[in-house]
Every structure is written in C-alpha cells, then in structure tokens.
C-alpha cells in the first residue's frame, strides 16, 4: 500500500490555522503548504476540519472546512458549552463517515474529559488509521490504542512508555530576512500570555533587573493575552515594559530582528518554534534548562536554571553585556516544511503498509 501509487485520503482535525497567531496555527499552515509544494502527488485528497475564520486557500489537494465554532481563536468570554458540544459532534461525524485512510487529530480533542472519550471511541470505530498529534504537549495518562506524533526528540524520551510514536519535526518557513533592521536596546517575549508560560516571573525579574541597571533593556511582549485586562493594566504601569498585543505571523521575524534577545521562560515546552525563529534571525535566545532541545545548544550564561526573579535578572544582565554575534550548532534544515512533508508521507506509508502486512498475515494464519 504505497502512498505514491494509491493516493492517500487524509483527514486533519486541528484547532486553528493562519491567519490566527500561535504555534499550532503556524505549524499546520506550514505542513499543509509543504505538502502542496512537494508531496501533492502522494495524496488523493486532504480534508482539514478547523475553526471558523481560518485560511482556506492552500490549493489542491487540500480542502479546508472551517466549520467548528471558534474556541482556541476566540476570547474566553465568547466560548460556550453548547458550541463545544456541536464541535465534538461534528468532529465525530467527520471521523466516522468521511471515508479516509488516515485521521490525524490534535491531542486536545482526544483528552478533553468526557467528550474526549467519545472522540476516542469514534476513532476506534473508524476504519481509518488514527494518528494523534501530541505536538509539544506533556500528558501522563495515555499512550495506547493508536499511533502518536511528537515534535521533539526530548518528548520521544518523555513518552518512553508509548510504543507506537514517531518524531516529526516542527515544520518551518524560512523566508528571506529583511535587510537593514538593527537590533534595538530591547528584549522580546513572543507567545501566549498565560499562567504556565512564566510571564509573571519574567516581569518580576525584569523589575529587579531594571532597578539595578544603568542602561536597562526594554522588555517588549507580543502574544495573545489570556490573563485579562489586569495584565495589560499591570504592564502599563511598569517602566520599560511594553505589551504590543499579538504579532501577525508574517510580522514575527521582523519584530525579532528588532530585539537583542528573545526570552522564553516557560518550563513546559517540547520544541518551541519561537526559539527556532530567533535562531534563524540571528538573535540571542534565553530559555529554561527544562527545554533541553534548545538549552543544550545555548551558552550556559543564557540558560535559566530556575524561574526566580534573581535568575531572570541575571540572564537579562548577561544579555545587556553581550556584544558578540549569536551563533548556534543546530540544524534548522530539518525543520524545512518540504523535508517535514516528505518525512510525514514516509510515516503514513509505513503505517498503512504495516497494517496491510499484519492483516495479510492474520488471513494466512
């Protein structure tokens, strides 16, 4: 059952796509473009079920059905239980009745309490082969019955108890960087404004750093604010801190080029694309030591040992005094969307061939 001969029929169930910001949107947007650009011959059709308002014009063989009520792309106040029930009913209908070879679904839909159990059951009943896309999430209560994708080698180790798992790198687009943009006297945070991202600790550490510096760097923050208006009011009152809202996907690299360093204080990251983008932009990267895939290629001075204000103050002082050129021993080419698309197609081929061989063996026995 070779994908190049038969043509794959694949259903992707994803939360968001561009133009919405965020790593999940960029990841699937790049994956679809990589498939269209270099692997379309291997697919009969690709159906994408996602939230309303997502981009739909990817070209053949991709058909985007933006029929889910907004959740990940909407403010929390606009979400409702009934809309989510409708979303899950629609998801289960697509799984059971759309006639695909493979269903690849974001893990958030499978592990959403009670509704997630129904989705799991639908996946079991479906004739399609299931691939659950964990991405860079950390779960501890599953790993059976289906195949799983992770986007970092660190997560391959974390999910050591899962037998059927595969590493597929984060797909990236590497456009030509704009010329003539010099780094300003600032550092940047790019990502969701949430409790588990270390953003409050970053701000507290920045306040200590600023109080002790003769020429402090500014802290510029870009990302969707999930903490409410209180966060914006608090940052507005701190000298040197600028909250700029969400950066459009095609704006991120330009904003990074304006920064001396990009900071990622979060400890729960599998493979943060913001760090890869900062590397590509040639900017200093500061991240937590728990993000081993990135921390292992950084100078020790730019690795956060913990999230205490004193440690963040130390790292900011290191960035301020740094005057060299940022360089990294990391192969960004493995993240090119064309290469990732090829790796994904090879994986699908192995999934289908393996199951075909197992079924034939059972029939012969």
Q: Are residues 344 and 246 in the same domain?
A: no
Query: Could you tell me if 138 and 268 are in contact, meaning their C-beta atoms sit under 8 angstroms apart?
Result: yes
Name the pLDDT band for 248 (thresholds 50, 70, 90).
confident
CATH of the domain at 222: 3.40.50.2000
Q: Are residues 220 and 297 in the same domain?
A: yes
What are the tens digits of pLDDT across the range 65-98? 999 998 876 666 577 889 999 999 999 999 999 9
Query: Across residues 11-36, what is the average pLDDT?
Result: 92
Query: Could you tell me if 186 and 260 are in contact, meaning their C-beta atoms sit under 8 angstroms apart?
Result: yes
What's the domain count of the chain? 2
- Residue 76 lies in domain: 3-173+336-364
Q: Which residue has the higher pLDDT, 37 or 324?
A: 37
Q: Are residues 86 and 232 in the same domain?
A: no
Read off the tokens for 167.
């590493």
What is residue 20's predicted lDDT score, i.e. its pLDDT?
Answer: 86
Q: Are residues 166 and 298 in the same domain?
A: no
> What percentage of the chain exceeds 90 in pLDDT?
70
Asked whether residue 328 is domain-assigned, the answer is: no
Q: Are residues 286 and 256 in the same domain?
A: yes
What are the tens digits of pLDDT across the range 91-130? 999 999 999 999 999 998 988 778 888 999 999 999 999 9
Asked whether residue 102 is domain-assigned, the answer is: yes
Asked whether residue 94 is domain-assigned, the answer is: yes
- Total-model pTM: 0.86
Q: Are residues 32 and 101 in the same domain?
A: yes
Q: Are residues 223 and 169 in the same domain?
A: no
What is residue 162's predicted lDDT score, i.e. its pLDDT?
Answer: 87
What are the tens digits of pLDDT across the range 215-225? 999 999 999 89
Name the pLDDT band for 136 (thresholds 50, 70, 90).
confident
Asked whether residue 330 is domain-assigned, the answer is: no
Radius of gyration of the chain (CA): 22
Asked whether residue 248 is domain-assigned, the answer is: yes
Asked whether residue 277 is domain-assigned, the answer is: yes
Q: Are residues 159 and 199 in the same domain?
A: no
pLDDT at 161 over 90: no
Q: Are residues 140 and 233 in the same domain?
A: no
Asked whether residue 180 is domain-assigned, the answer is: no
Q: Are residues 123 and 199 in the same domain?
A: no
Q: Are residues 159 and 31 in the same domain?
A: yes
Handedness of CA 359, 361, 364, 365 (dihedral sign): negative
Q: Are residues 162 and 190 in the same domain?
A: no
What's the chain's average pLDDT? 90
pLDDT at 134 over 50: yes
Asked whether residue 181 is domain-assigned, the answer is: no
């Amino acid at each position: 059952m070779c994908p190049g001969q038969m043509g794959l029929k694949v259903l992707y169930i994803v939360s968001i796509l561009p133009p919405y910001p965020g790593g999940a949107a960029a990841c699937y947007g790049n994956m679809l473009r990589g498939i269209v650009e270099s692997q379309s011959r291997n697919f009969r059709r690709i159906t994408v079920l996602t939230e309303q308002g997502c981009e739909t014009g990817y070209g053949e063989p991709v058909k985007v059905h933006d029929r889910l009520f907004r959740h990940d792309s909407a403010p929390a106040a606009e979400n409702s239980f009934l809309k989510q029930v409708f979303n899950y009913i629609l998801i289960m209908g697509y799984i059971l009745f759309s006639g695909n070879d493979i269903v690849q679904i974001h893990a958030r839909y499978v592990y959403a309490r009670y509704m997630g159990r129904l989705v799991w059951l639908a996946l079991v009943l479906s004739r399609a082969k299931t691939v659950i896309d964990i991405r860079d999430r950390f779960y501890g209560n599953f790993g059976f019955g289906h195949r799983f994708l992770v986007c970092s080698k660190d997560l391959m180790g974390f999910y050591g108890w899962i037998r059927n798992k595969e590493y597929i790198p984060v797909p990236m687009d590497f456009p030509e960087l704009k010329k003539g943009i010099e780094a300003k006297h600032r550092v940047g945070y790019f990502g969701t404004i949430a409790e588990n991202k270390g953003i409050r600790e970053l701000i507290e550490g920045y306040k200590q750093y600023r109080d002790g510096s003769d020429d402090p760097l500014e802290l510029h923050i870009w990302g969707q604010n999930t903490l409410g208006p209180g966060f914006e009011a608090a940052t507005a009152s701190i000298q040197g801190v600028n909250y700029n809202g969400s950066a459009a996907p095609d704006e991120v690299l330009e904003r990074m080029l304006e920064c001396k360093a990009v900071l990622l204080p979060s400890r729960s990251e599998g493979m943060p694309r913001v760090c890869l983008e900062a590397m590509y932009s040639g900017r200093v990267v500061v991240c937590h030591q728990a993000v081993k895939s990135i921390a292992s290629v950084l100078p020790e001075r730019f690795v956060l040992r913990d999230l205490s204000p004193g440690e963040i103050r130390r790292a900011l002082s290191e960035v301020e005094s740094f005057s060299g050129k940022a360089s990294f021993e990391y192969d960004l080419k493995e993240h090119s969307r064309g290469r990732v698309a090829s790796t994904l197609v090879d994986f699908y081929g192995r999934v289908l061939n393996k199951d075909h061989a197992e079924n034939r063996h059972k029939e012969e026995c």
